[in-house]
Structure 1
Amino acid sequence: MKKINLNKIWLCILALSLSFTACDTVDFGDMNVDPNSPTDASSASLLTNAERSLDGIVSSTTTNCYVQYLSNGQYDEESRYQTLNWSFNGLYATLVDLQKVIELNTDEATKVNAQAYGSNGNQIAAATILRVYLLHHMTDRWGMIPYTEAIQGLENQYPKYDSQESIYMGLFDEIDSALGMINSGNGPTGDFLLGGDMTLWREFGNTVKMTMALRLSNADPTTGSAKFNEAYNNAISSNANNIFYPYLNEDTNDNFYQDHFVDQGRRDYLISDVFADALIGTGTPTVPEDPRLTKMADPATNSGTYVGAPYGQSNSATDDYSFITADIITKSDAPLYIYTYSEVLFARAEAAALGWTSEDASALYDQAIAASMEQWGVDATEATAYIALNPYSSLEDIAYEKWVAMFLQGYNSWAEWRRQKAMGYERPLTAPDDLLSNATGIPQRHAYSATAGSLNEENYNAAVSAQGPDNLNTILWINQ
């Protein structure tokens, strides 16, 4: 066995240490850089990730039960309002992504590189419009939420909850700023929602603004009227530009209903008797008065006729009732709508009836029904006949037809129903007798998450004190 020479070992160690000391300023290039872990954030990836969050909003079954488009199958808890607490943490995570897009395109150190993903102004505009859409959705669900002090990280771990009125005013400022930034440069890369088309983003932004303005019809009609007039001429102008979530045929990005009914084999969402009976109207279960029912639903398996399932009850004999059309529940890429042309036309009809504009409410009402019929693939002759039999006479007519036209637009439909109820001309809906979560009627809001009070106690308590009890029954400022 050879004897180890310790003197030689120490000399080697000394030589190595001297060499590293001498190389403190040597550039080793990309030797220690992981090419699969980029250090610069991609605004395109951030925007894509943010847009994916819309899936959870447009596919809401709970709110489609609230407005009684759907009834449950065997398990009826959803239509009896079982869930009280809803967390907004995931939505704030999405807002962080959008804020980063804005920062990357604003910061002098990153804005030049960010132009690889579209002009700075157009990226900021798209991210801001989507941010406003999400915050508008959130305040219409919970009421007071963190806004001015939100998503500040460790700088402010306990943000205050802003009033709904101040949130609305702030969002109007944000949307105006975003619309003013849209330019002729490249649209944002990573935008699968609107394909980087800034003309569509302008329509999206104005449609959000118009919708927000109409939501003020009860709480602040002066501001609502002013903002509505600024936006409605530039909102969605045809069915070709309807805004929807573009699902794909692949399982990881297919539409919720196809995933639920086909992939999972579930049969627990049926057309409600409230909705089916309304559209059958003076017609028959075979030939409904409203031809849209034949496009929105399928006949019941057992009878071959259109039959709605009793709302708020357990309906285990699912073959006795109509399901959502197979064109939605068996088609992976069937669109679920965010905003539609018919919705815009109904808003304009209502604004005209309220005296906000000089437009013709009756003409817009007819156009809105025609647009809805076209959207659902109804023959033009049938649409014309239906309109002739159902002429405009009052705001109640607009409310009813808008309720029909917004089929499966859960959160948006729920918000509109609550607003119209505050105005006194909503489509009458009755809650089931046996309700859960101490609900006293169709929910007026969502309660904060069960941990909100412990995680941000002082500001949570201030919000509850100002707004009202943290339950499903408290009426929000816009609807008081």
Structure 2
Amino acid sequence: MKKYNQFTLFIVAITFLLSACENVDFGDTNIDPNNPSLAVTAPLLTNSIREMSAYISQTTPNLYVQYLSNGQYDEESRYETLNWDTDGYYGILLDLKTIIDLNTNPETSTSTQIYGSNANQIAAATILRVWFLHGMTDRWGYLPYREALDADNNIYPKYDSQEAIYNGLFDELDKALETIDSGAGPKGDILFDGNMSRWKTFANTIKLVMALRLSKANPTIGKEKFNEAVSGAISSNSQNIYYTYLTEDNNDNPWQDRFESRKDYLVSDVFVKALIGSGTNVAPEDPRLPKMADLAETSSTYVGAPYGVSNSNTNNYSFITKDIIKKGDAPLMIYTYSEVLFARAEAAALGWTSENASTLYNEAIMASMKQWGVNTADATTYITANPYSNVSDIAYEKWVSLYMQGYNSWAEWRRFKASDTEDRIGLIAPANLLSNATGIPQRHAYSSTAQFLNEANYNTAISEQGEDDLDTILWLFK
């Protein structure tokens, strides 16, 4: 009987323990920290910002606007690449969408607050999303926009017009600016270290640049948006927006990496001759040239490499300044004070503002000189010798000031060409072009698989925008 009672008690105890386990909280015991159930927003933001580097350091647009010439292999300066893939950009946009969704959804927003206030994470991700999409549509034109990034419900997104994309991006920027609150900035922010004042400046500068891009396509909207943004845009060289690199190899300046393996990019004869101007090849008229390029090794003079041809004897020509190609932590510019001042000068010339175009033009050149480390006396001498007369002067000086900012400069050149004010720049396409191009490219063609993966919408976009080649002029630049 005693054995029976002991056995009964044992069974009851086991039953109690097993039933109790249903309510036991084991905390984080069964959670794998290496496989979180929710995406972590901080590294998503960091990775998205890091992808800015590939855009601002791209070689091809710097060849389009003839800052550079190729060395031995000249195909890039003859426009060899026709098709450019957008998939990588949509991957970035999906990461940014994830940040926005997690901070918007009440079921996840509480857990994401450790990475900054929900509002500020949403605002930063939105502003960065707009920056990427702005650059994308300026390259390709029509793109999947409103129906993009929803593969669960729509694997064949419509291509939106460039006009519709610009209108949507303006709305997104305005909402982002309204969203910013006094809470903590986002963690993982390697661009501004969570400083939301800097994010506001970034957003307003994007808006100002986009507004001026409408100077030909829709000056009414352009003027409205420009005046909304101008007071919040960059207002000094100390506010210049740039990507900061490190000396370590996993995040150093891509230009340094290129020159570790091959000396292939030279300063073009077009750019060097323009900056030598009325000076000489050892004492150029424009004092920025010695800051932007180095003396040719064989002659100790400034010599530009002929554009659009093979230049095998690279030591005969000037290279990009060693302060960029030999310095791993040299920053690359995204937006500068001089660009904003040139935009304000042009807006004044267009009658969009009551500011003085000539005064702003002079201030813009001085800001560019200071950015490149030119002393005030030399800058003043140059400005005095090159007074403002019309928008063509702004176009030329802006081209010089945007040196090494390839995609930004290419977009501005196309816009000035659309308004017949690019004549002082004087870019001419090389004689032997590739990819059936007939001149300096006006856009990039979609990836070679685009027409097969989303055929109906691709065909609609082509029928409305024009042929899918390098020559079709986008809505912004007609």
Q: Same fold (TM over 0.5)?
A: yes
2: CA distance between counterparts of 1:428 and 1:421? 10
Q: 1:258 aligns with which of 228, 237, 256?
A: 256
2: CA distance between counterparts of 1:288 and 1:30? 68
Residues 1:328 and 2:324 aligned together: yes
Residues 322-361 of structure 1: matches in 2 within 5 Å?
A: 322-361=318-357
* Corresponding residue SS for 2:147: coil
2: CA distance between counterparts of 1:425 and 1:350? 11
2: CA distance between counterparts of 1:200 and 1:30? 38
2: CA distance between counterparts of 1:36 and 1:477? 47
Q: Which residue in the other structure is 2:132 paired with?
A: 134
Q: Which residue in the other structure is 2:148 paired with?
A: 150
* Corresponding residue SS for 2:155: coil
CA positional deviation for 1:37:
2.0
Q: Which residue in the other structure is 2:299 paired with?
A: 303
2: CA distance between counterparts of 1:27 and 1:385? 76
Q: Structure 2: which 5+ runs fail to align?
A: 1-13
* Corresponding residue SS for 1:328: helix
Q: Which residue in the other structure is 2:388 paired with?
A: 392
2: CA distance between counterparts of 1:168 and 1:84? 24
Q: 1:408 aligns with which of 399, 404, 408?
A: 404
1: CA distance between counterparts of 2:219 and 2:27? 63
Residues 1:267 and 2:263 aligned together: yes
2: CA distance between counterparts of 1:339 and 1:27? 52
CA positional deviation for 1:194:
1.2
Residues 1:417 and 2:413 aligned together: yes
1: CA distance between counterparts of 2:272 and 2:95? 41
CA positional deviation for 1:38:
2.0
Deviation per CA, 1:404-456: give whole Å up to 9, x if none. Answer: 00000000000000011001101221000100000000000000000000011
Q: Which residue in the other structure is 2:454 paired with?
A: 456
Deviation per CA, 1:366-396: give whole Å up to 9, x if none. Answer: 0000000000000111001100000001111
Which deviates the most, 290-299 or 27-36? 27-36
2: CA distance between counterparts of 1:29 and 1:283? 75
Deviation per CA, 1:315-352: give whole Å up to 9, x if none. Answer: 00000000000000000010111100000000000010
CA positional deviation for 1:62:
0.2
Q: Which residue in the other structure is 1:105 paired with?
A: 103
The one-letter code sitting in structure 1 at the alignment partner of 2:142 is M
* Corresponding residue SS for 1:396: helix
Identity percentage over the alignment?
Answer: 65
Q: Which residue in the other structure is 2:36 paired with?
A: 38
Q: Which residue in the other structure is 1:247 paired with?
A: 245
Residues 1:290 and 2:270 aligned together: no
TM-score, scaled to structure 1: 0.94
The one-letter code sitting in structure 2 at the alignment partner of 1:392 is Y
TM-score, scaled to structure 2: 0.95
Residues 1:224 and 2:222 aligned together: yes
CA positional deviation for 1:183:
1.8
2: CA distance between counterparts of 1:246 and 1:352? 33
* Corresponding residue SS for 2:69: strand
Residues 1:380 and 2:376 aligned together: yes
Residues 178-217 of structure 1: matches in 2 within 5 Å?
A: 178-217=176-215
* Corresponding residue SS for 1:270: strand
1: CA distance between counterparts of 2:30 and 2:213? 55
2: CA distance between counterparts of 1:292 and 1:286? 13
Provide the aligned C-alpha RMSD in A. 1.6
Q: Which residue in the other structure is 2:82 paired with?
A: 84
The one-letter code sitting in structure 2 at the alignment partner of 1:227 is K
2: CA distance between counterparts of 1:353 and 1:38? 55
Deviation per CA, 1:209-232: give whole Å up to 9, x if none. Answer: 000000000010011011101101
Q: 1:477 aligns with which of 464, 468, 475?
A: 475
Which deviates the most, 109-118 or 428-437? 109-118
Q: How many residues align?
A: 463
* Corresponding residue SS for 1:448: coil
CA positional deviation for 1:131:
0.5
2: CA distance between counterparts of 1:21 and 1:450? 61
Question: Residues 464 and 253 of structure 1: is their aligned pair in 2 closer, same or farther, counting only changes over 3 Å?
Answer: same
Q: 2:366 aligns with which of 362, 366, 370?
A: 370
2: CA distance between counterparts of 1:422 and 1:360? 24
Which deviates the most, 29-38 or 369-378? 29-38
CA positional deviation for 1:42:
1.4
Q: Which residue in the other structure is 2:445 paired with?
A: 447
Q: Which residue in the other structure is 1:3 paired with?
A: none
* Corresponding residue SS for 1:432: coil
Q: Which residue in the other structure is 1:73 paired with?
A: 71
CA positional deviation for 1:119:
1.3
